[in-house]
């Protein structure tokens, strides 16, 4: 197993145009790429070349008619897909390239060429449903990635963690009845898109495999860490995923214009350490990350830098650091944790 951390970085992702005042602008990736080109960051990561995903790959999650509809936006300056989401002339190609970039990360990890990887792509994906765009998202990168791990690499257990400020409605709905994927989400609630209530725990064979942690505004590093260590970690150790996937939204940063959370860059590093510990314990460190939200450019780049340093082994948060920080959590978060465990307890022996 190699120790390389892969990154997807391609200037074609800037060609998805969203208009001057849209929060999900090309400037987000410009600022990330500029940070990656700093002398202290260059040469540290294996560059993963993206590819354009095939229709049949996208259709593992999305309906054929929907993919065709998005294809018809190609070459048109503006196609309104929903109230927040529009396609520009090149968005269809760029959205397929976003999916393909993430799939190449998963392939590199599954083949042992990469230890872990972070796909810096846009448009983001976790709000995209089987047959509709939503919340700046066109194709659901992470959901397609999970299906790719299952269908191409024969994995039977995939863990998706989503720490974006907003609930990943599209990802949840993709696997709501599917025990091959555990979907774990922390999110501001009630807030866009309105899904992700405590009682949404999956259906049929997938019951207990959707875990929602709806939060009021205010939690910061310590509270998030306690949730990850008290709920996600025991569950993951019981589930034993064959790969860990992360929808990384940096809109829980304390100065994000769209959010009300208080996570700082060091907090992102702590949460990454928990996920890497899970991946190391369960699946040889296999961990793939795809960019979702994050609209404060400074917070976005600082948070990502800390995450990459932890992923690549340039830093390592210790168990003592984690214990100390978790001890600082506001005790009010314990009620939320108990409520979440109460919902999923019948399905997981670790909580019984």
Place of tokens 């191409």: 152
Give ∠ CA 8-13-14 in degrees, rounded to 5.
130
| Cβ pair 82, 75 in contact under 8 A | no
Reported as half-sphere exposure (CB side, CA atoms, 13 A), residue 319 has a value of 1
Q: Please give the radius of gyration of the chain, using alpha carbons only, rounded to the nearest integer.
A: 18
Point out the residues that are catalytic. 127
Within 10 angstroms of residue 318's Cβ, the number of other Cβ atoms is 9
Rounded CA gap, 46 and 165, in Å?
29
Rounded CA gap, 76 and 68, in Å?
14
Cβ contacts of residue 29 below 8 Å, gap of 6+? 13, 14, 120, 122
């Amino acid at each position: 197993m190699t120790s390389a951390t892969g990154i997807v970085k391609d200037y074609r992702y800037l060609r998805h145009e969203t208009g001057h005042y849209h929060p999900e602008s090309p400037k987000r990736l410009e600022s990330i790429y500029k940070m990656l080109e700093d002398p202290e960051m260059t040469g540290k990561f294996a560059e993963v070349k993206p590819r354009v995903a095939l229709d049949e790959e996208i259709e593992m999650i999305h309906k054929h008619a929907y993919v065709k509809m998005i294809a018809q936006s190609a070459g048109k300056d503006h196609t309104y897909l929903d109230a927040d989401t529009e396609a520009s002339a090149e968005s269809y190609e760029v959205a397929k390239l976003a999916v393909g970039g993430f799939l190449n990360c998963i392939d590199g990890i599954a083949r042992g060429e990469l230890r872990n990887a972070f796909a810096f792509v846009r448009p983001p994906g976790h709000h995209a449903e089987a047959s509709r765009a939503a919340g700046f998202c066109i194709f659901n990168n992470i959901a397609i990635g999970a299906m790719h791990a299952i269908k191409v690499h024969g994995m039977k257990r995939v863990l998706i963690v989503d720490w974006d400020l907003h609930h990943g409605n599209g990802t949840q709905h993709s696997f709501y009845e599917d025990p091959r994927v555990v979907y774990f989400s922390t999110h501001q609630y009630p807030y866009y898109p309105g899904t992700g209530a405590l009682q949404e725990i999956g259906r049929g064979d997938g019951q207990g495999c959707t875990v929602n942690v709806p939060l009021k505004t205010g939690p910061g590093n310590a509270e998030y860490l306690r949730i990850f260590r008290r709920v996600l970690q025991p569950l993951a150790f019981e589930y034993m995923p064959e790969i860990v996937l992360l929808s990384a939204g940096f809109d829980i940063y304390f100065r994000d214009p769209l959010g009300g959370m208080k996570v700082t860059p060091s907090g992102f590093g702590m949460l990454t350490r928990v996920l890497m510990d899970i991946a190391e314990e369960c699946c040889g460190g296999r961990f793939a990350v795809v960019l979702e939200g994050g609209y404060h450019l400074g917070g976005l780049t600082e948070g990502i830098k800390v995450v990459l340093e932890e992923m690549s082994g340039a830093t390592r948060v210790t168990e003592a650091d984690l214990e100390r920080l978790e001890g600082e959590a506001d005790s009010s978060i314990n009620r939320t944790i108990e409520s979440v465990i109460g919902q999923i307890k019948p399905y997981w022996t670790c909580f019984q």
